[in-house]
Structure 1
Amino acid sequence: MAHFTTDENAQYFACGYSCDHAVFLQLKGEAFFITDARYTLEARANIKNAEVIEASDLWRAVVEKIPSSLKELYFDPAQVSVQAYRHLQEALPNLKLVGDPDHHRKQRIVKTPEQVALLKKAQELNRGAFDAFAKYLHTADTPSEHFLQFKVKEFLTHSGEFDLSFEPIVAVNANAAKPHALPSKDPLKEGDLLLVDVGLKYERYCADRTRTAQFNKGFGFSKEQRFKDQELQKIYAVVQKAQEYTIENLRAGMTGKEIDSLARGVIEKAGYGAYFAHSTGHGIGLDIHELPFISQRSQTIIEEGMVFSIEPGIYIPGKYGVRIEDLVVVQGSRAVVL
């Protein structure tokens, strides 16, 4: 199937190299990595399964490589500008451009054992960053969320060795009620709720983990937490139960919607359904969010080798939020925590 992509992770998956100004073009029996003079030397040193073409006008070079016999060319419409699409339409009037949402993510929805191993290593390094961050907090003097978000990057990147999967989320008390909270200048104090959602990349594969804890002397990011606020303790127990129940009971062959309902059912039964504001999980790999999605709308059939997060949460506006997240791979029809 002939296709093209401008997405860096899709490029890397296809040929082992990517850059921010390139088109990877796959035709029957041949492939091309089209980029400009800034990247051609590096591309030729890293790409073995595609011809590297240097061009100042990438789309003109794409058009020149399309044979007149080609009938269809697939692409992900989310990756292509209207201008580029119109240019291809006008230059190739006899070619059918087939916009297929998530075309390239579909190709990597099932992970190989080697890819699962990279994700597991990324998550192990991520867990180590949590432990190092907790030790640092034992000695910190009422730092602000803003500073903590900056500081956690040091532990995640191992002082620059690794990239981040996404911008870290570090939220205290009421700010944790925002699932993707921006950091404030409010300080972290003894007895505060602290939600940390962070990830690093290992050989381009993403980690993602969330823990919610009560900050005090000797605290850690284990799942076993005790809060002074009894309502908060109840909410934490519900989220923990929802996550563990979902991991224990999900199976290959279920849809993403059915898995989402496992977590959502526990939270709704406890009376907090209105405060679970997002999906139960998302696929992960080269992208931090990729297929499959574990949501109320997902009809994707879960298969062996798929890797995704399980991250239920309850968010009480103006008070606090609780989320617990782990990554799982489907092996032997069941979920195995990475």
Structure 2
Amino acid sequence: MKNYILLDENAVYYECGFSCDNAVYLKLGSEAFFITDSRYTVEAEEYTKNCSVIESSNLIEDTKKILKKNKIKKVVFDPNDFKLSFYQNLTKDLKTEFIPKENFSKLKRIIKSDEEIQILRKAAKIGRKGFKELASYIRKNGYNQSENFLHFKAIEKMSNQGKNDLSFDPIVAFNKNAAKPHALPTNKKLKLNDLVLVDAGVKYKRYCSDRTCTANTNFEKFSFKREQKFKNKKHQKIYDIVYKAQLNAINKVRTGMKASKVDSFTRDYIIKAGYGKYFVHSTGHGVGLDIHEFPNINSKSDVIIEDNMVFTIEPGIYIPNEFGVRIEDTVVMKNGRAQIL
């Protein structure tokens, strides 16, 4: 792909090591242009690699000028990134043909470099520390605190008091609320032997971590460790099924197999246990600069798993008006097998 145009911040960052919320990245053969306004040019000059920084008070007009000047016949773009008004104004009165190619940047990033994997490992390590800090807080002060308050505490602990950016807004859900895969926090208070689900992640050098833990609230010993002892027998039963389904996929995934096969390792186990209709989402998703990247690990995906792919394995069972359990780890494929980051 010789000529392409990018607006998405993470796609731009991947190309040149810097991005901002008002920039056009234009790659024309061996030349590249980072077009932005005067608020960002100083930093762009400092941080961008292998591109010319162009200060602009009208990004669309200056992009058009460069395309005209270089007599560009064709340029590839991702239609998911472009607002209709931006696209219409950009292509108006221009001889250049714009060729839509969905997700071409994400497809380019599907296999991570060894350097990217090191960064993702570090992000996962920082995320794990955040979970430990949150567990320590819940152990000492969690009793009778609301989901809303512990959601705030999850932000505080995961971000290390604001030192780290978060991958996404954390999910903190107790009991019945955990039956919603993307639960919003409520004023429900935490009690002894409640089930708590926390889904959270942090960024390191802009790369994301992503992890979900489900735990029993037995205050003195509270932790997010994978081995959990629940007072409620049904909680324990469902937890054990989800955990075994997750381990089944982590242990059996191999390079060369289809992503749909990985999905079946969790799904078939849960179906066999009699809870298939309560597993309502896919098994996982790629993780990188975006929290949701390729490969998609679902029942329809024909993508072939390769070494240096990074993705989540996160089966769940959600019983409406009762509770939900999800267990998620991010894995990297190395030497044909999955390693938990």
Letter in 1 for 2:258: T
Per-residue deviation at 1:144? 0.3
Q: Indicate yes or no: 2:69 matched with 1:43.
A: no
Match of 1:174 in 2: 176
Count of residues in Structure 1 that have an aligned counterpart in Structure 2: 337
Match of 1:61 in 2: 62
Match of 1:257 in 2: 260
1:193, 1:214 within 8 Å by CA — same for their partners in 2?
yes
Match of 1:329 in 2: 332
Partner Cα distance (1:106, 1:211) in 2: 29
The answer for unaligned runs of 5 or more in structure 1 is none
Letter in 1 for 2:203: K
Partner Cα distance (1:58, 1:269) in 2: 56
Per-residue deviation at 1:173? 0.2
Match of 1:160 in 2: 162
2:195, 2:235 within 8 Å by CA — same for their partners in 1?
no
Q: Indicate yes or no: 2:208 matched with 1:223.
A: no
Q: Indicate yes or no: 2:87 matched with 1:85.
A: yes
Q: Map Cα deviations across residues 198-219 of structure 1 (whole Å, 9 max, x no partner).
A: 0000111101110100001211
Per-residue deviation at 1:101? 1.1
1:63, 1:91 within 8 Å by CA — same for their partners in 2?
no
Match of 2:192 in 1: 190
1:311, 1:326 within 8 Å by CA — same for their partners in 2?
yes
Per-residue deviation at 1:96? 2.0
Q: Map Cα deviations across residues 258-315 of structure 1 (whole Å, 9 max, x no partner).
A: 1111110000000100000100000000000001110112121111100000000000
2:11, 2:105 within 8 Å by CA — same for their partners in 1?
yes
Match of 1:293 in 2: 296
1:3, 1:25 within 8 Å by CA — same for their partners in 2?
yes
Per-residue deviation at 1:253? 1.1
The answer for unaligned runs of 5 or more in structure 2 is none
Letter in 2 for 1:284: V
2:67, 2:96 within 8 Å by CA — same for their partners in 1?
no
Corresponding residue SS for 1:66: helix
Q: Map Cα deviations across residues 42-101 of structure 1 (whole Å, 9 max, x no partner).
A: 100111311000111111111111146423211111110111222233232x32211111
Letter in 2 for 1:114: E
Match of 1:269 in 2: 272
Letter in 1 for 2:90: L
Q: Indicate yes or no: 2:311 matched with 1:313.
A: no
Per-residue deviation at 1:145? 0.3
Q: Indicate yes or no: 2:106 matched with 1:101.
A: no
TM-score, normalising length from structure 2? 0.97
Partner Cα distance (1:271, 1:102) in 2: 37
Corresponding residue SS for 1:74: strand
Partner Cα distance (1:32, 1:274) in 2: 50
Partner Cα distance (2:40, 2:180) in 1: 40
Letter in 1 for 2:248: Y
Letter in 2 for 1:213: A
Partner Cα distance (1:215, 1:91) in 2: 64
Following TM superposition, the consecutive aligned residue runs of length 4 or more in structure 1 with deviations greater than 3 angstroms are none
Partner Cα distance (1:314, 1:30) in 2: 50
- Stretch of structure 1 that moved more, 83-92 or 324-333: 83-92
Per-residue deviation at 1:134? 0.7
Partner Cα distance (2:235, 2:138) in 1: 22
TM-score, normalising length from structure 1? 0.98
Q: Map Cα deviations across residues 102-145 of structure 1 (whole Å, 9 max, x no partner).
A: 11111111001110011011101111111111111112141100
1:201, 1:207 within 8 Å by CA — same for their partners in 2?
yes
RMSD: 1.0
Partner Cα distance (2:156, 2:265) in 1: 36
Per-residue deviation at 1:8? 0.8
Partner Cα distance (2:75, 2:211) in 1: 38
Partner Cα distance (1:323, 1:48) in 2: 41
Corresponding residue SS for 2:317: strand
Per-residue deviation at 1:229? 1.9
Corresponding residue SS for 2:304: coil
Letter in 2 for 1:313: G
Partner Cα distance (2:126, 2:48) in 1: 28
Q: Indicate yes or no: 2:206 matched with 1:204.
A: yes
The percentage of aligned residue pairs carrying the same residue is 49
